[in-house]
């Protein structure tokens, strides 16, 4: 091959893989910087001019940001759950996607923390959550676990970096990567533990709000039922998100990167978990209706405020729950790539919707009888600063894909 | 070195590793983080507080000083908490005879008015067009010179009567100095801004022969029948009335019954035991209907009516001519059915109300629409007051009396020079005291309408304590009248609408910066004299208006100067108070016993006159017998009912000051979302009526009356009678500050003046209007 | 002073609270202004958006929802309810959620505190409070030139990005305690510690004191058969009681939105 026609940075590519010209790559990265800059401007406005630039208000202390935060962390569950399946349940096939799941996880968790950095009113004091920690607060639990887990994710990501063709040539880094690989099951186990906790705690965030009958749930020990439902819903959708992002990466690169049987394993597990989740969620909903009714808040009052009508419930549990579940459970439907991707999209949207409902709708429902319903629609600042992390994530994924040996099956699936 | 791929990669890797390690290891980032947090906690307010040192507002010795609030006619005693020389809080003064510790939201906002940047910084002279807001600072000497020159000029031309003064009150030393000044100078045009006092004083003069306004023993009464008075909204002395309300509500056996007559569910109506919505403007008919029942069922006080009243029964004069008495009038004209037809209240309710009122121990019928900022109909006032006479609850504890003042030292008579004497006896610019309105003292709403009462019009106007440009009805006429006055001087401490349209502003001290006396507040039945003391030193280059007026008088020289023998205002004040000064200065107030005694009336008959003989004495011959008696003489609202199918009535919000003082930011902040939204003012309308016009809650609409048009927002409420629109007074300022200017519309700009045929006062209670969606 | 109290099991505890007589409350708003003036609340050129306006004391206007002329209104002054909560799992709603221990329920006084300089603005406490008590500083507070002069040095001004709320005028308790201490007293008289809104209320509708102390007015008033608390069913266990002789008002205060058969609408 003529070395002059090879990309300038070819030496950094994973062994035996092909990548586009550096020029095109840089152009792609530059293109992502467009919307990223808009998002950065939005974030700077929040910090410079205070949060009055958003549509948040005293009725909606939580808005798009918190819903997105909870959503993105649930999607990131693909990382720890795939790790769990790979290293602890030992489904060996998943080694072909676990690396990418980690990359996606890093992006999701970084996004969650980034969004929170914009959301809080005094970001410079953000660390008070650790310094003045209140052990009773679900948010404290979330903060500690997420931060710890993010470090775990970075440690899981590190060997991928060290295995870069050039870095790996350096003996020290090579050895380090090797050792990290050895330790991976143990690290994954810590990650699983932490993740279960913070996914649950995120469920606890709305679930403990006993002043908000819409969100409040009874529970087990110190945890409201939402604690467990959040864990379950996160692991039911995380794998779908991993499939979805892998599929999108394949479409962007024009290559097959992972064998379909790997997708199928994840999809099957996702479908079953989703089924379990939906059963429990339905029981929870019925119990909640009865409980609220007994306490004097008729169920109908929760859905009396437009746009939050009963359709919300139908959409969340039906269209974004039962339908993807059926697709994922059916062997034939699951193996149809179009249907599979549709199921993944529905499943992931369902998570977002659920997190929105549990935070924003929970605040939208007036509690005092003389309280008025106030509508809330996020404004561009909130959208742009939330999407900022999507663009940043795309950049991280692009760079990681280009330079790091993420997909073990890539060489096999794309012979030179 | 050639940059080949290999070295590029090596540099890249090496640099990244180095940078990563560097960032983690250096203490700089941790230090920055820590500093930023500290900065966000401590430096921030330090920076924000600019002029004040420290994290917190400056500390210092804490003191409390007592004075009197001047923001409304309420005259509450207040205590100002001071930290060093800063006033930091205003609270109600415990033990003060008017408000015993209570305060209202306006009074509690007083410091925003004191320290607000929209105070007039010092003497200002208009530099641009009138009303452009362009002023330049001048010295006090220049300012006073200007006034003296102008006034000397007019006097030299024999036009002293072309000078007028508009004040908020005619009682107390400062208004008296103005009135004295005009008298010595040679002008009859002392004008007091409009209020229900105008009519009540006239009614009391006619019926009781008293040169005074009314005082109600609200605390002592146990049945309060209010004819549209906004007792809770801010009627009379607001804090005092709210405290009386709490007394009425207390369950310790003293519980009083309150009945509100009003077309709208005001706060007073909501707090009342019964709310009767009658058609607006028919309150007087209801009063007479109640009188009918009381007379018919012999529920009136037979002793009082027999011994202390005149004109209750039919009577004949020495010629033998028979005159109709009040009794016959109400019996023939105001049966429950006919009154029901007028008012819309069922005959059953009328009868029940009349019985309840008359059978109560100490019933009081209260008159004065809303906060009492409009004059109102004379016959309506008389009809309501007649109820008090029927039950004989006049000049008694728990009853109605004339409002007394603490006795002070009278001033020496003014000695007028020839010019003053001639000019002083010229007709007044507003027509008050003329043959047409011989008994009326001031016609504040009339002068902008006539502008010239046969006196040639105002050539120089002095305004103190009032904001007639804003508060007078029919804003367009007022603006036009101002345009015709070549010289307007305001003594206002704030840049209010009148000051904004003045040629010269000679700012008075703020009420917390000055000495002044506060006579018995409106509606109070016991004599109280309060003292305003300077609590803080003047914040701006202001001067006491009393001193300024005296300086002007002294500069005019001659007899005018002679009428002001005092060295300065404080001397005048001390001398006026006389031997009570020591107690007044020490305590902050002095009290007297109410001198009124049952059955002493200054009328020609020496009795309470249902049939007013003073009309004839004043040369006002009436056409019919009933015109000498309280009767129902409907005041028709302006406008064609076909073009304007709805009725617009001005309303009052208790969190919105609608007088001479602009609403401070704190008060505006308390307005509800369906009262003010952004700059949009809401009008109240019944959902049924709104449906007819396709108006939904929050809709934008155009409100049009024969007097003007305005953009408003719609507030649907079941608390207002169908067909009626309520518009709150107090917004629509163009002057003042960014926190008030431009918000809402001035209700006065939509409502015109309908003159009471007998008093000439403004009897307007509403205007016809239409509302269209935009 | 705090250290001295540690471990003193027999330390006297107070439950400061309020009883607001809604029959007397006229909705005049003096309590709102009294509070703003006392506690250095900022104001803006346009405060008409209640969802962003800062009021520690907010007077709600409620209506019985009936048609003219049977309509009726009432006012409900609403400071922080200083919720006590039921037990460990149902502690004060806002206190248990705050991740940075910014806000605390004092078992000595029953007052829910707020340390503005520690709050980092996550607003979780606002989500937890069903009474819309907590307000966020959406803007930097500013005062027109000269107006800072009236600020109260006993209450720190807050910066943007933090949450604040009614403190039961805690600084007044401190002031009263200092005075009592200087005079060698351990006990405060009932009238020595009164909140600014109580003092401002011209109607005397707001009563404040120790709900535990049989000598205090509030002790008796809270037992009025017409007394109720806002959203009592939630179990927030508030320390602000209301008294109204009107049944529909009591119902409105106690009910959740949309409670069956309820006709309460915001005024
Ligand atoms: N407005 C307001 N007042 C407050 C407080 C607040 O927060 N706001 N906080 C209160 C508290 S907690 C405190 S501790 C006090 C502090 O009150 P002060 O003790 O008055 O404190 P500062 O004003 O900081 O400093 C006093 C002076 O010391 C001078 N100085 C600095 N270094 C030296 C030095 O080395 N030698 C000498 N001789 N002088 C030096 C400074 O220039 C300054 O003039 O204020 C109290 N008063
Ligand atoms: N740059 C700079 N920094 C300084 C100083 C300086 O001069 N310059 N001075 C230093 C000095 S001397 C001092 S003392 C410190 C003071 O520093 P801080 O102790 O931070 O003092 P404050 O700013 O008064 O803030 C105390 C906070 O507690 C709240 N608070 C009030 N009462 C109570 C209560 O009873 N309970 C609770 N939980 N909260 C309450 C207040 O509202 C306020 O938010 O600052 C120090 N830092
Ligand atoms: S009622 Fe009038 S006098 Fe009394 S505090 Fe209020 S504004 Fe001042
Ligand atoms: S009312 Fe709200 S802010 Fe106050 S203690 Fe209760 S939950 Fe906390
Ligand atoms: S906003 Fe402040 S007080 Fe509220 S929960 Fe967050 S850190 Fe705590
Ligand atoms: S108790 Fe104090 S802080 Fe709370 S509302 Fe009343 S005045 Fe404001
Ligand atoms: S000050 Fe008193 S009467 Fe006025 S609104 Fe507040 S509680 Fe009600
Ligand atoms: Mo200090």
Residues 6+ apart with CB under 8 A from B651: B264, B266, B370, B684, B726, B727, B728, B729
Phi, psi of B133 (to 5 degrees): 85, 5
Residue of minimum CA distance from atom 8 in ligand 4: C94
DSSP designation for A56: -
DSSP A64-129: HHHHHHHHHHHHTHHHHHHHIIIIIS--GGGHHHHHHHHHHHHHHHHHHHHHHHHHSS-GGGTTHH
B146 and B229 co-located in one domain: no
Residue A379 in any domain: the answer is yes
Q: Which ligand is nearest to the CA of C205?
A: 7
Ligand 4 within 6 A of CB of C103: no
State residue C185's pLDDT score: 92
Hey, how many other C-beta atoms are within 10 angstroms of the C-beta on B349?
16
User: From ligand 2's centre to the CA of B49, what distance in Å?
Assistant: 15
Ligand 6 within 6 A of CB of C57: yes
Chain B neighbors of A9, CB-CB under 8 A: 5, 9
Q: Which two tokens stand for residue B203?
A: 């009614």
Q: How many domains, in total, are found in chain B?
A: 4
State residue C1's pLDDT score: 38
Chain B neighbors of C203, CB-CB under 8 A: 102, 242-243, 245-246
- Average pLDDT over chain A, rounded to an integer: 91
**Could you say which of A129, A208, A300 has the minimum Cβ distance to residue C99?**
A129
- Domain holding C207, by residue range, is 16-266
Contact B380, B200 (CB under 8 A): no
Q: Which residues pair with residue B689 across a beta bridge?
A: none
Residue C89 in any domain: the answer is yes
Contact B215, B520 (CB under 8 A): yes
B692 and B622 co-located in one domain: no
A65 to chain C: closest CA residue: C122
With an 8 Å Cβ cutoff, are A205 and C124 in contact? yes
Residue B380 in any domain: the answer is yes
User: From ligand 4's centre to the CA of B559, what distance in Å?
Assistant: 70
Residue of minimum CA distance from atom 3 in ligand 7: C25
pLDDT over 90 at C260, yes or no: no
Chain C neighbors of B277, CB-CB under 8 A: 68-69
Residue B504 in any domain: the answer is yes
Ligand 1 within 6 A of CB of B306: no
In 3D space, the residue among A59, A24, A64 whose CA is nearest the CA of residue A383 turns out to be: A64
Mean local confidence (pLDDT), C38-52: 95
State residue B46's pLDDT score: 45
**Could you say which of B9, B33, B37 has the minimum Cβ distance to residue A11?**
B9
Q: Which two tokens stand for residue B673?
A: 């979302």
Residues of chain B with pLDDT under 70: 1-14, 16-17, 20, 23-24, 38-56, 251-254, 453, 596, 599
CATH number of domain containing B233: 3.40.228.10
B140 and B273 co-located in one domain: no
Ligand 4 pocket mutation pick from C106, C125, C133 by most atoms within 8 angstroms of CB: C133
Q: Which residues, numbered 207 to 266 in chain C, qualify as contacts with chain B under a Cβ-Cβ cut-off of 8 Å?
A: none
Ligand 4 within 6 A of CB of C102: no
B188 and B321 co-located in one domain: no
Q: What is the pLDDT of residues C132-147, one digit of tens each?
A: 999 999 998 888 888 9
Ligand 1 within 6 A of CB of B59: yes
State residue B50's pLDDT score: 43
Q: How many domains, in total, are found in chain A?
A: 1
Residue A50 in any domain: the answer is yes
Mean local confidence (pLDDT), A259-279: 95
CATH number of domain containing A48: 1.20.1630.10
Q: How many domains, in total, are found in chain C?
A: 1
Hey, how many other C-beta atoms are within 10 angstroms of the C-beta on A162?
20
DSSP designation for B558: H
Check the CA dihedral B351-B353-B357-B359 and report its sign.
positive
Chain B neighbors of A22, CB-CB under 8 A: none
- Domain holding B360, by residue range, is 218-398+603-628
State residue A10's pLDDT score: 82
C-alpha to C-alpha distance for B734 and B745, rounded to whole angstroms: 9
Q: Which two tokens stand for residue A356?
A: 């929105």
With an 8 Å Cβ cutoff, are B246 and C24 in contact? yes
Chain A neighbors of B677, CB-CB under 8 A: none
**Could you say which of C21, C73, C141 has the minimum Cβ distance to residue B265?**
C73
Residue C187 in any domain: the answer is yes
Q: What angle do CA B175, B763, B391 make, to 5 degrees?
A: 90
In 3D space, the residue among B687, B689, B691, B693 whose CA is nearest the CA of residue B772 turns out to be: B693
State residue B1's pLDDT score: 47
Closest ligand 2 atom number to CA of residue B55: 23
Residue B133 in any domain: the answer is yes
Q: What is the pLDDT of residues C68-114, one digit of tens each?
A: 999 999 999 999 999 999 865 678 999 999 999 999 999 999 999 99
C135 to chain A: closest CA residue: A58
**Could you say which of A8, A124, A167 has the minimum Cβ distance to residue B5?**
A8
pLDDT over 90 at A353, yes or no: yes
Residue B140 in any domain: the answer is yes
Chain A neighbors of B18, CB-CB under 8 A: none
User: From ligand 4's centre to the CA of B101, what distance in Å?
Assistant: 29
Residue C166 in any domain: the answer is yes
In 3D space, the residue among B107, B28, B86 whose CA is nearest the CA of residue B537 turns out to be: B86
**Is B57's Cβ below 8 Å from some Cβ in C?**
yes
How far does the CA of residue A16 sit from the closest CA of chain B (Å)? Answer: 18
C-alpha to C-alpha distance for B215 and B583, rounded to whole angstroms: 25
Q: How far from A199 is each of A143, A203, A228, B155, CA to CA, in Å?
A: 11, 7, 8, 89
Residues 6+ apart with CB under 8 A from B547: B568, B569
B485 and B369 co-located in one domain: no
- Domain holding A303, by residue range, is 28-364+374-413
Residue C211 in any domain: the answer is yes
State residue B6's pLDDT score: 60
Q: What is the pLDDT of residues A45-92, one digit of tens each?
A: 998 888 999 999 999 999 999 999 999 999 999 889 998 999 889 899
With an 8 Å Cβ cutoff, are B41 and A8 in contact? no
C-alpha to C-alpha distance for B72 and B675, rounded to whole angstroms: 22
B388 and B241 co-located in one domain: yes
**Is C29's Cβ below 8 Å from some Cβ in B?**
yes
Phi, psi of A405 (to 5 degrees): -80, 80
Range list of H helices, B410-521: 418-424, 447-450, 468-471, 475-483, 497-500
User: From ligand 6's centre to the CA of C39, what distance in Å?
Assistant: 8
Report residue A81 CA to chain centroid gap: 12
**Is C38's Cβ below 8 Å from some Cβ in B?**
yes
Residue C8 in any domain: the answer is no
CATH number of domain containing C110: 3.30.70.20
Residue B589 in any domain: the answer is no
pLDDT over 70 at C254, yes or no: yes
State residue A177's pLDDT score: 84
Chain B neighbors of C62, CB-CB under 8 A: none
Residue A96 in any domain: the answer is yes
Contact B207, B443 (CB under 8 A): no
pLDDT over 50 at A140, yes or no: yes
Residue B522 in any domain: the answer is no
Whether the link from the prior residue into A307 is cis, omega within 30° of 0, is yes
Residue A13 in any domain: the answer is no
User: From ligand 4's centre to the CA of C92, what distance in Å?
Assistant: 7
Q: Give the predicted TM-score (pTM) of the model.
A: 0.90
C-alpha to C-alpha distance for A222 and B605, rounded to whole angstroms: 87
**Could you say which of B5, B13, B36 has the minimum Cβ distance to residue A124?**
B36
Residues with CB under 6 A from ligand 3: B 69, 71-72, 74-76, 99, 103-104, 106-107, 238-239
Round the CA-based radius of gyration of chain A to a whole number and report it. Answer: 22
More confident residue, A180 or B54: A180
State residue B16's pLDDT score: 66
Chain B neighbors of C201, CB-CB under 8 A: 102
Choose from C55, C59, C120 for mutation: most chain A CBs within 10 A.
C120
Contact A372, C266 (CB under 8 A): yes
Closest ligand 5 atom number to CA of residue A129: 7
DSSP designation for B179: H
Residue of minimum CA distance from atom 8 in ligand 7: C25
How far does the CA of residue C196 sit from the closest CA of chain A (Å)? Answer: 24
User: From ligand 1's centre to the CA of C35, what distance in Å?
Assistant: 30
User: From ligand 5's centre to the CA of C228, what distance in Å?
Assistant: 29
Q: What angle do CA B266, B267, B269 make, to 5 degrees?
A: 65
User: From ligand 6's centre to the CA of C80, what distance in Å?
Assistant: 8
More confident residue, B348 or A9: B348
């Amino acid at each position: 091959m003529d070395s002059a026609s090879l990309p300038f940075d070819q030496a950094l590519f994973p062994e035996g893989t092909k990548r586009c010209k550096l020029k095109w790559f840089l152009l792609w990265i530059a293109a992502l910087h467009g919307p990223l800059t808009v998002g950065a401007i939005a974030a700077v406005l929040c910090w410079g001019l205070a949060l009055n630039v958003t549509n948040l208000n005293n009725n909606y202390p939580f808005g798009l940001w918190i819903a997105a935060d909870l959503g993105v962390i649930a999607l990131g569950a693909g990382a720890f759950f795939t790790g769990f399946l790979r290293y602890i349940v030992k489904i060996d096939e998943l080694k072909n996607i676990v690396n990418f799941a980690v990359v996606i996880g890093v992006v999701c968790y970084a996004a969650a923390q980034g969004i929170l950095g914009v959301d809080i009113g005094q970001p410079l004091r953000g660390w008070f959550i650790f310094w003045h920690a209140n052990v009773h607060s679900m948010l404290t639990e979330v903060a500690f676990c997420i931060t710890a887990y993010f470090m775990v994710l970075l440690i899981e990501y590190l060997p991928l970096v060290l295995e870069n063709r050039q870095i790996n040539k350096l003996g020290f880094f090579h050895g380090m990567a090797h050792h990290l690989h050895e330790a991976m099951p143990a690290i994954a186990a810590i990650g699983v533990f932490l993740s279960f906790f913070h996914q649950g705690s995120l469920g606890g965030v709305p679930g403990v709000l006993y002043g908000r009958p819409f969100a409040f749930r009874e529970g087990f020990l110190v945890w409201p039922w939402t604690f467990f439902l959040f864990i379950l819903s996160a692991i039911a959708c995380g794998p779908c998100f991993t499939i979805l992002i892998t599929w999108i990466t394949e479409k962007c690169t024009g290559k097959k990167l992972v064998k379909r049987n790997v997708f199928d394993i994840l999809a099957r597990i996702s479908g079953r978990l989703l089924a379990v989740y939906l059963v429990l969620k339905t029981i929870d909903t019925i119990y909640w209706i009865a409980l609220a009714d007994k306490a004097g808040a008729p169920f109908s009052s929760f859905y009396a405020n437009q746009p939050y009508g009963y359709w919300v419930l139908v959409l969340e549990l039906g269209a974004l729950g039962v339908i993807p579940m059926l697709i994922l459970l059916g062997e034939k439907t699951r193996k149809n790539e179009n249907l599979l991707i549709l199921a993944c999209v529905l499943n992931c949207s369902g998570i977002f919707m659920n997190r929105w409902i549990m935070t924003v709708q929970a605040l939208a429902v007036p509690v005092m009888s003389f309280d008025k319903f106030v509508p809330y629609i996020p404004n561009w600042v909130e959208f742009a600063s939330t999407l900022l992390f999507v663009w940043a994530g795309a950049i991280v994924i692009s760079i990681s894909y280009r330079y790091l040996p993420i997909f073990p099956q890539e060489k096999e699936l794309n012979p030179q | 070195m050639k940059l080949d791929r290999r070295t590029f990669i090596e540099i890249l890797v090496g640099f990244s590793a180095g940078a990563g390690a560097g960032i983690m290891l250096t203490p700089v980032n941790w230090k920055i983080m820590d500093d930023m947090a500290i900065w966000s906690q401590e430096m921030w307010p330090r920076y924000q507080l600019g002029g004040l040192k420290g994290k917190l507002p400056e500390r210092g010795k804490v003191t409390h000083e007592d004075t009197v609030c001047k923001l409304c006619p309420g005259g509450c005693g207040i205590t100002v908490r001071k930290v060093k020389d800063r006033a930091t809080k205003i609270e109600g003064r415990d033990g003060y005879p008017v408000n015993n510790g209570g305060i209202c939201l306006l009074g509690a906002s007083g410091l925003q008015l004191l320290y607000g940047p929209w105070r007039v910084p010092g003497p200002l002279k208009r530099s641009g067009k009138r009303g452009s807001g362009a002023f330049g600072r001048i010295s006090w000497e220049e300012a006073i010179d200007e006034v003296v020159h102008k006034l000397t000029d007019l006097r030299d031309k024999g036009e002293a009567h072309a000078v007028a003064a508009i004040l908020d009150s005619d009682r107390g030393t400062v208004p008296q100095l103005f009135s004295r000044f005009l008298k010595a100078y040679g002008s009859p045009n002392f004008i007091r801004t409009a209020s229900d006092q105008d009519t009540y004083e006239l009614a009391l003069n006619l019926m009781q022969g008293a040169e005074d306004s009314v005082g109600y023993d609200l605390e002592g009464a146990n049945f309060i029948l209010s004819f549209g008075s906004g007792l809770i909204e801010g009627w009379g002395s607001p804090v005092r009335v709210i405290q009386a309300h709490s007394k009425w509500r207390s369950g310790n056996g003293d519980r009083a019954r309150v009945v509100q007559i009003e077309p709208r569910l005001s706060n007073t109506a909501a707090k009342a035991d019964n709310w009767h919505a009658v058609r607006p403007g028919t309150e007087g008919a209801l009063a007479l209907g109640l009188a009918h029942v009381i007379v018919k069922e012999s529920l009136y006080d037979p002793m009082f009516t027999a011994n202390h009243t005149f004109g209750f029964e039919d009577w004949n004069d020495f010629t033998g001519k028979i005159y109709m008495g009040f009794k016959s009038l109400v019996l023939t004209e105001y049966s429950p059915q006919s009154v029901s037809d007028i008012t819309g209240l069922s005959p059953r309710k009328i009868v029940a109300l009349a019985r309840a009122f008359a059978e109560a121990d100490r019933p009081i019928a209260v008159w004065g629409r809303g906060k009492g900022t409009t004059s109102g109909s004379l016959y309506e006032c008389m009809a309501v007051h007649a109820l008090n006479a029927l039950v004989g609850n006049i000049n008694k504890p728990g009853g109605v009396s004339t409002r007394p003042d603490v006795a002070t030292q009278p001033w020496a008579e003014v000695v007028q020079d020839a010019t003053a004497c001639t000019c002083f006896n010229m007709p007044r610019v507003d027509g008050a005291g003329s043959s047409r309105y011989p008994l009326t003292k001031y016609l504040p709403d009339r002068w902008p309408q006539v502008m010239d009462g046969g006196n040639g019009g105002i050539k120089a106007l002095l305004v103190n304590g009032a904001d007639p440009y804003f508060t007078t009805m029919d804003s367009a006429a007022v603006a036009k009248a101002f345009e015709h006055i070549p010289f307007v001087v305001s003594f206002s401490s704030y840049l209010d609408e009148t000051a904004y349209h003045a040629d010269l502003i000679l700012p008075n001290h703020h009420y917390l910066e000055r000495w002044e006396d506060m006579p018995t507040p409106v509606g109070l039945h016991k004599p109280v004299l309060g003292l305003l003391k300077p609590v803080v030193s003047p914040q701006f280059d202001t001067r006491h208006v009393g001193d300024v007026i005296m300086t002007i008088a002294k500069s005019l020289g001659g007899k005018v100067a002679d009428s002001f023998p005092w060295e300065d205002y404080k001397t005048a004040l001390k001398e006026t108070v006389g031997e009570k000064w020591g107690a007044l200065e020490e305590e902050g107030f002095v009290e007297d016993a109410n001198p009124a005694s049952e059955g002493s009336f200054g009328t020609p008959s020496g009795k309470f006159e249902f049939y007013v003989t003073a009309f004839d004495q004043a040369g006002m011959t009436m056409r019919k017998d009933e015109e000498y008696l309280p009767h129902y003489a409907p005041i028709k609202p302006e406008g064609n009912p076909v073009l304007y199918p709805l009725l617009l009535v001005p309303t009052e919000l208790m969190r919105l000051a609608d007088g001479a003082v602009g609403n401070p930011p704190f008060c505006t902040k308390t307005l509800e979302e369906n009262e003010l939204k952004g700059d949009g003012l809401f009008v109240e309308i019944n959902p049924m009526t709104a449906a007819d016009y396709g108006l939904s809650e929050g809709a934008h609409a155009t409100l049009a009356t024969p007097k003007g048009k305005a953009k408003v927002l719609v507030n649907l409420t079941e608390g207002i009678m169908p067909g009626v629109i309520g518009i709150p007074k107090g917004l629509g300022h163009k002057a003042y500050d960014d926190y008030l200017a431009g918000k809402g519309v001035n209700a006065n700009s939509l409502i015109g003046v309908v003159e009471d045929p007998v008093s000439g006062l403004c009897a307007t209670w509403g205007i016809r209007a239409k509302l269209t969606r935009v | 002073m705090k250290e001295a109290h540690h471990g003193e099991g027999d330390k006297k505890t107070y439950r400061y609270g309020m009883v607001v007589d809604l029959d007397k409350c006229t909705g005049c708003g003096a309590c709102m202004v009294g509070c703003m003036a006392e506690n250095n609340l900022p104001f803006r050129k346009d405060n008409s958006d209640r969802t962003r306006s800062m009021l520690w004391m907010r007077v709600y206007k409620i209506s019985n929802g009936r048609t003219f002329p049977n309509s009726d209104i009432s006012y409900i002054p609403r400071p922080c309810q200083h919720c006590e909560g039921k037990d460990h799992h149902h502690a004060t709603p806002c206190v248990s959620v705050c991740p940075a221990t910014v806000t605390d329920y004092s078992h000595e006084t029953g007052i829910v505190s707020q340390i503005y300089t520690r709050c980092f603005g996550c607003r979780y406490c606002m989500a937890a409070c069903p009474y819309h008590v907590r307000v966020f500083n959406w803007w930097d507070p500013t005062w027109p030139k000269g107006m800072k002069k009236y600020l109260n040095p006993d209450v720190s001004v807050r910066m943007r990005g933090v949450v604040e709320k009614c403190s039961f005028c805690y600084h007044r308790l401190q002031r009263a305690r200092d005075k009592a201490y200087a005079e060698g007293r351990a006990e405060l008289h009932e009238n020595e510690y009164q909140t600014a809104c109580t003092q401002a209320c011209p109607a005397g509708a707001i009563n404040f004191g120790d709900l535990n102390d049989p000598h205090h007015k509030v002790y008796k008033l809270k037992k009025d058969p017409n007394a109720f608390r806002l959203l009592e069913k939630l179990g927030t266990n508030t320390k602000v009681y209301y008294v109204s002789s009107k049944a529909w008002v009591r119902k409105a205060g106690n009910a959740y939105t949309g409670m069956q058969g309820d006709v309460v609408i915001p005024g």
